[in-house]
Structure 1
């Protein structure tokens, strides 16, 4: 990830509602949430306001949208979020921190789907 993409991503989550949306979508995993469920979780926010925030997150590459019937389902783009974390932590301890390196590697493998204990690397 380059600095321009990182700035776009961090800029998108630098708003309270958008940060809350991303955190909700991370919890929801790959199944995601409908725009209506997101609005309800944001204390009944106006659909137009939620749509605006979802568009900003999607344009920053942090969320994905898919159609299921009449609904649009939004989910976190886990590789993009992993790239943001890696961008911050990449040079931790002059690039020699085995703990950060392990965390970055593990987070990069996240798909938003649960894994069983025997599926851990």
Structure 2
């Protein structure tokens, strides 16, 4: 991942509403959630959610697809993985005890293998 893409993704996540929406979509898995359901679960007005999803989408973190009259949003797991890899790229400075807790968190993740999106 390039620095510019990482900065855009981190900037998009540096807002409580967008971070909450992204985390909810990550938990929802590949099927994602309809925009209306997402707004209800987050207790935010649809226009506020729409603005937040647009910013997350431009940052490459979420995507929407039409399903009838609804738009279903889902996390872009491949791009999320690339962002995490970018953040961890220079981890440890030769000292594995620094990153061992992060490795343990990744191994404990109940997520299934994801392919790049």
| Distance (Å, rounded) in 2 between the aligned partners of 1:95 and 1:77 | 31
Tell me, what secondary structure is at the counterpart of 2:60? coil
The residue that corresponds to 1:63 in the other structure is 62
TM-score (norm 2): 0.81
After superposition, the CA RMSD in angstroms is 2.4
Instruction: State the partner residue of 2:50.
Output: 51
TM-score (ref. length: structure 1): 0.79
| Deviates most, 15-24 or 95-104 | 95-104
Instruction: Give the aligned partner of residue 5 of structure 1.
Output: 5
- State the 4+ residue runs in structure 1 displaced beyond 3 angstroms: 95-104
CA positional deviation for 1:96: 7.2
Aligned mates of 1:13, 1:22 — CA distance in 2: 8
Q: How many residue pairs were aligned?
A: 108
Provide structure 1 residue ranges, at least 5 long, that are not aligned to the other structure.
112-121
Deviation at 1:94, TM superposition (A): 2.7
